[in-house]
Amino acid sequence: MTDDAASAIETRGLTKRFGSHAAVEDIDITVPRGSVFGFLGPNGSGKTTTIRMMLGLATPTSGTIRLLGRDMPGELRAVLPRVGALVEGPGFYPYLSGEANLRRLDTADRYAPSATRGARVERALERVGLTHAARKKVHAYSLGMKQRLGIANALLTPRELLALDEPTNGLDPQGTREVRNLIRSLAAEGTTIFVSSHLLAEIEQVCTHAAVMSAGRLVAQGTLNELREVGLPELRLLTPDAGLAVGVLSGLGLSAQQAADDSTLVTATLHDHSAEPDTIVAALVGGGVRVRGFSVQQPSLEDRFVQLTGDGFDVVQ
């Protein structure tokens, strides 16, 4: 294990099986302290199961977990007061107000100081934009309001680590922006944020690091820039001489193909040993290919994640 001063979360060989089915299999995750760490993957890829194991809500079949430098679940009592979490959506008493729900939850926390309860509840509601609905009964809350109330509960006491499972679920665009701003402000205060999502835009806009899950396995992790740089650039050529262009590019050692939905588009993946773009263009022109458009594009983060998982991601803002 690495020094606990550098890692807020660290897992090694973490596995969870239900009978013969491996919901999570042999994953190694390292979350740097102070980071906003995105845990990305399609629904059903094992994200929530992993978070539940991290928080001591589910027992691993095998593997180890350290949170804030402490072994889990053995040191759970020492760790959990320093961790806030929103997992699998919030659950509240529907006929109590938002404020009353937070007071009850805070009372149940034996580590929470009662003398400051009122001020802390008020502050938490303010931070998630629910001051106006503090005395409204929760059954009248929208799904997005309930989601924000769940985040408020996680913020009732200062936290070193905040784990949020799909925190923008059910939020309208304004609510989504508010949660993103909240995550940024918490990170600026030094809180490590671990946020799972299937929304690519959410990860790109707030996270410094990310890990990608697919079918229970970890397929990539690193900083966002590192994940973007893994993919190979693609050559895109517009020409009325597509067939001739494929031949010229093949002669340069490139595996080129004509796009199925555009008779004038030719694409090829560039490798380290590929010719330079100006050399490629010169060869095309010299071979009689009429070049009407030429570009080299680095794969987007979305392209990279689709390559890794075989699934699409919701990229709606």
Cα–Cα dist 141/121, whole Å = 17
255 and 268 in contact (C-beta within 8 Å)?
A: yes
Instruction: Report the phi/psi class of residue 13: left, alpha or beta, with left for phi > 0 and alpha for psi in -120 to 50.
Output: left
Within a 10 A sphere around the Cβ of 249, how many other Cβ atoms?
Answer: 25
131-172 per-position pLDDT tens digit: 999 999 999 998 888 888 998 998 898 889 999 988 887 778
Report pLDDT digits (tens) over 170-214: 778 887 888 888 888 889 989 999 999 887 777 888 899 999 988
Looking at residue 199, its pLDDT comes to 78
DSSP per residue, 192-218: EEEEEESBHHHHHHH-SEEEEEETTEE
**Tokens 């396995």, located at residue:** 217
Residue 98: which pLDDT band, with cuts at 50, 70 and 90?
very high
Q: What is the CA radius of gyration of the chain?
A: 24
186-222 b/e (C-beta count within 10 Å ≥ 16 → b): bbeeebbbbbbbbbbbbbbbbbebbbbbbbbbbbbbe
Task: Kindly report, residue by residue over 216-256, the tens digit of the pLDDT.
Answer: 999 889 998 888 766 678 899 999 999 999 999 999 989 89
CA dist., res. 152 & res. 102, Å (int): 8
DSSP letter for 280, please: H
Please provide the average confidence, as pLDDT, over all residues in the chain: 87
Residue 48 has pLDDT above 70, yes or no: yes
Lookup result for tokens 């929530």:
48
- Reference 162, options 141, 183, 140; nearest CA is 183
pLDDT, position 185: 87
Domains, the chain, with CATH or none: 7-229 (3.40.50.300), 234-297 (3.30.70.100)
Q: CA 287, CA 289: separation in Å to the nearest integer?
A: 6
- Give the per-residue pLDDT at 270: 83
